[in-house]
């Protein structure tokens, strides 16, 4: 076989960003995995000892190298993957700088065993600190094995900067998960200090791969993402909140098959989850972005895996829309659900007033298995005779109502589970989604005039902040006018506002407007203000709530709340399957 490897000419070398290839054990594993993948391996086995400090071994069944190529491979800027500067724009392989093996060999004791189809025997080469120690022929199957021992043994400063074996092993394990997700058709095996940590046979799809890599509770919360805009496509999975993790490392992103960690991508993912996660919690996501090679530069930084997009705005919109569609069934710019009347608050609902009056006179509540709403001792009859109660097919409206518990909890049920719902939090989600939708569509909420306009006074700083957000308030349904330097007159409030305390409400909003943490980010601030509006005016007292009102809430939830968390990211339902209850009662 003709030698495949050529030494790059100076011009190309200079054009390639000089980066330090080897920073720590995980960077070695990454380079070796990339080489195995470029060599078309279908099985890759990785073994490490002491977090890779003592040993990193990568074996593959790829093309292997001829004896001549094996020697060349260990030279700097020797590569079989790039011939000219022109190729730089459209490299399809993972590595192309031709410096990984040489760099690794210069800071470790490296042993390479390889064989391709052209040679009868395999080649073994041992290099220590960049110096050739041994080369022999030996029997071997097709493929390559590279062993890296005592990384940085001759660079004590670097060795000192390594973290403990546990931390280095964590990084390597995470890297393997990323590769395993990106390449489902390749089988991966991974062991740490002799213990198997991953055994992922080759499969046909990312979904099947996820099945081997993640636990049942993760799998059950995943929803598929599949969204295309112009020439870019986003696919993958996100976990539906309230499922959340404690750091961003569970957001795995890939651009054209390469694992990347990019500021723009991460910010867009976080933004898509901004009103679905509690503070300090992070989404779990595996997202694959595919776009034409000329639209993205993945070679900005070889180690940090940053990328540069020709059209960053386009990419962040695609991510926001893709995740929103997956979770909410609608893109980001148009939140889900047809326009429905705002869920009526008890104080402002003549229907409920009427019902309440009637019921108070005819207590106890009708016993037609009619799921009476009771403050204490809710009936727990879920016998078949109750089933006709389940009147609609909606996810929420099909639930039967059993009663109320203290703390604004509603007790509901379906055929196979008991559902405890936080009424306040659910209402908050409804109000918030509605306000956000109106804001994004540039519409306004209906408002009603106050009989006596309310005058509010603020300090100069507060007044400036409030004045800057009058448009948002107007969209939410408030008519507020500036009146002199520091005075404001509230003339109308939105119909959803109910009997919320006006002064306290505006006080909260102004406080948020001045919050230095969010002031600088107009989008976040807007969302924060809407959250506070929703929270302040959502029902708090549910002891006077009637079945009709609860039904109305459930009906509206069908249309809006695809994700059962309030805008602060807290779940508003707890679902207890009857199976679980039966198990706890030791019943069959």
- Chain residues binding ligand ADP by CB under 6 A are 5, 31, 35-36, 39, 60, 62-65, 73, 78-81, 95-102, 144
Closest CB to ligand ADP among residues 27, 349: 27
Radius of gyration of the chain, Cα coordinates, nearest whole angstrom: 31
Q: Which does 63 bind (CB under 5 to 8 A by kind): ligand ADP, Mg ion, none?
A: ligand ADP
Distances (CA, A) of 104 to 23, 56, 376: 10, 11, 71
The answer to whether 473 and 489 are in contact (CB under 8 A) is: no
CA angle at 144 for the pair 186 and 148, rounded to the nearest 5°: 105
Residue nearest to ligand ADP (CB): 95
* Residues found near Mg ion in the complex (CB under 5 A): 35, 95, 100
Q: Are strands 122-128 and 447-457 parallel, antiparallel or unpaired?
A: unpaired
CA torsion angle for 572, 575, 576, 577 (degrees, to 10)?
A: 170
What burial class does residue 53 get, using C-beta atoms within 10 Å of its C-beta: 0-12 exposed, 13-18 middle, 19+ buried?
buried
State in angstroms the smallest separation of the CB of 72 from ligand ADP: 7
State in angstroms the smallest separation of the CB of 104 from ligand ADP: 8
State in angstroms the smallest separation of the CB of 70 from ligand ADP: 8
Which residues are within 8 A (CB) of 484 and not within 5 positions of it... i.e. 6 or more apart?
A: none
Closest CB to Mg ion among residues 39, 327: 39
List, in sequence order, every residue forming a beta bridge with 57; answer none if it has no partner.
47, 147
Closest CA to 22 of 303, 398, 431, 304: 303
Closest CB to Mg ion among residues 103, 275: 103
Q: Which does 283 bind (CB under 5 to 8 A by kind): ligand ADP, Mg ion, none?
A: none
Closest CB to ligand ADP among residues 73, 285: 73
- Residue 46 per-residue DSSP state: E
Closest CB to ligand ADP among residues 7, 347: 7
Residue nearest to Mg ion (CB): 95
Closest CB to Mg ion among residues 95, 344: 95
State in angstroms the smallest separation of the CB of 49 from ligand ADP: 20
State in angstroms the smallest separation of the CB of 80 from ligand ADP: 3
Closest CB to ligand ADP among residues 257, 453: 257
Mutual orientation of helices 263-272 and 312-328 as an angle, nearest 10°? 30
State in angstroms the smallest separation of the CB of 42 from ligand ADP: 13
State in angstroms the smallest separation of the CB of 127 from Mg ion: 16
Q: Give the Cα separation of 8 and 16 in Å (integer).
A: 11
Q: Which H/E stretch holds residue 454?
A: strand 447-457
Q: Which does 79 bind (CB under 5 to 8 A by kind): Mg ion, ligand ADP, none?
A: ligand ADP
Q: Give the Cα separation of 285 and 411 in Å (integer).
A: 32
Q: Give the Cα separation of 450 and 484 in Å (integer).
A: 20
State in angstroms the smallest separation of the CB of 86 from ligand ADP: 17
Q: Which does 39 bind (CB under 5 to 8 A by kind): ligand ADP, Mg ion, none?
A: ligand ADP
Q: Which does 545 bind (CB under 5 to 8 A by kind): Mg ion, ligand ADP, none?
A: none
Closest CB to ligand ADP among residues 81, 111: 81
């Amino acid at each position: 076989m003709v030698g495949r490897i050529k030494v790059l000419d100076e011009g190309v070398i200079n054009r390639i960003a000089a980066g330090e290839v080897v920073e720590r054990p995980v960077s070695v594993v990454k380079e070796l995995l990339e080489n195995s993948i470029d060599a078309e391996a279908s099985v890759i086995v990785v073994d490490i000892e002491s977090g890779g400090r003592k040993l990193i071994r990568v074996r593959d069944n790829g093309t292997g190298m001829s004896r001549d190529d094996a020697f060349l491979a260990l030279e700097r800027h020797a590569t079989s993957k790039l011939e000219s500067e022109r190729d730089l724009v459209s490299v399809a392989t993972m590595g192309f700088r031709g410096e990984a093996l040489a760099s690794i060999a210069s800071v470790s004791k490296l042993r390479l065993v390889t064989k391709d189809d052209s040679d009868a025997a395999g080649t073994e080469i041992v290099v220590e600190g960049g110096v050739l120690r041994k080369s022999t022929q030996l029997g071997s199957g097709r493929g390559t094995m590279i062993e890296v021992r005592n990384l940085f043994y001759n660079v004590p400063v670097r060795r000192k900067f390594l973290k403990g074996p546990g931390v280095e092993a964590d990084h390597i394990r995470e890297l393997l998960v990323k590769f395993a997700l990106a390449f489902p058709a390749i089988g991966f095996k991974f062991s740490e200090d002799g213990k198997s940590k991953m055994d992922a046979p080759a499969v046909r799809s990312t979904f099947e791969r996820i099945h081997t890599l993640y636990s049942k509770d993760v799998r059950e919360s995943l929803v598929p993402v599949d969204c295309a805009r112009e020439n870019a496509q986003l696919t993958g999975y996100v976990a539906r909140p309230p499922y959340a993790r404690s750091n961003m490392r569970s957001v795995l992103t890939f651009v054209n098959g390469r694992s990347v960690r990019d500021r723009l991508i991460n910010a867009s993912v976080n933004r898509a989850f901004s009103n679905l996660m509690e503070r300090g919690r992070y989404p779990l996501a595996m997202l694959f972005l595919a776009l034409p090679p000329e639209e993205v530069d993945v070679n900005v930084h070889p180690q940090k895996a940053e990328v540069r997009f020709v059209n960053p705005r386009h990419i962040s919109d695609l991510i926001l829309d893709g995740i929103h569609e997956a979770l909410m069934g609608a893109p980001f710019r148009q939140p889900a659900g047809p326009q429905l009347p705002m869920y009526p608050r008890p104080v402002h609902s003549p229907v409920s007033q009427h019902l309440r009056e009637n019921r108070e006179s005819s207590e106890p509540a009708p016993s037609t298995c009619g799921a009476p709403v009771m403050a204490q001792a809710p009936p727990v009859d879920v016998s078949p005779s109750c089933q006709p109660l389940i009147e609609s097919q909606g996810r929420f409206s099909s639930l039967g109502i059993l009663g109320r518990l203290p703390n604004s909890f509603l007790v509901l049920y379906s055929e196979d589970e008991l559902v405890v719902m936080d009424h306040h939090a659910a209402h908050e989600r409804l109000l918030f989604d509605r306000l956000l939708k109106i804001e994004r569509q540039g519409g306004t909420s209906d408002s009603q005039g106050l009989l006596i306009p309310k005058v509010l006074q603020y300090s100069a700083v507060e007044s400036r902040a409030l004045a800057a957000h009058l448009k948002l308030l107007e969209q939410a349904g408030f008519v507020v006018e500036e009146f002199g330097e520091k005075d404001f007159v509230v003339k109308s409030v939105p119909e959803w506002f109910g009997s919320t305390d006006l002064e306290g409400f505006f006080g909260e909003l102004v406080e948020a407007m001045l919050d230095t943490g969010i002031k600088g980010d107009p989008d976040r601030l807007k969302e924060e203000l809407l959250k506070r509006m929703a929270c302040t005016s959502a029902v708090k007292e549910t002891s006077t709530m009637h079945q009709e009102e609860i039904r109305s809430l459930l009906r509206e939830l069908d249309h809006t709340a695809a994700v059962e968390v309030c805008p602060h990211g807290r779940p508003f339902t707890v679902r207890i399957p009857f199976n679980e209850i039966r198990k706890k009662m030791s019943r069959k």
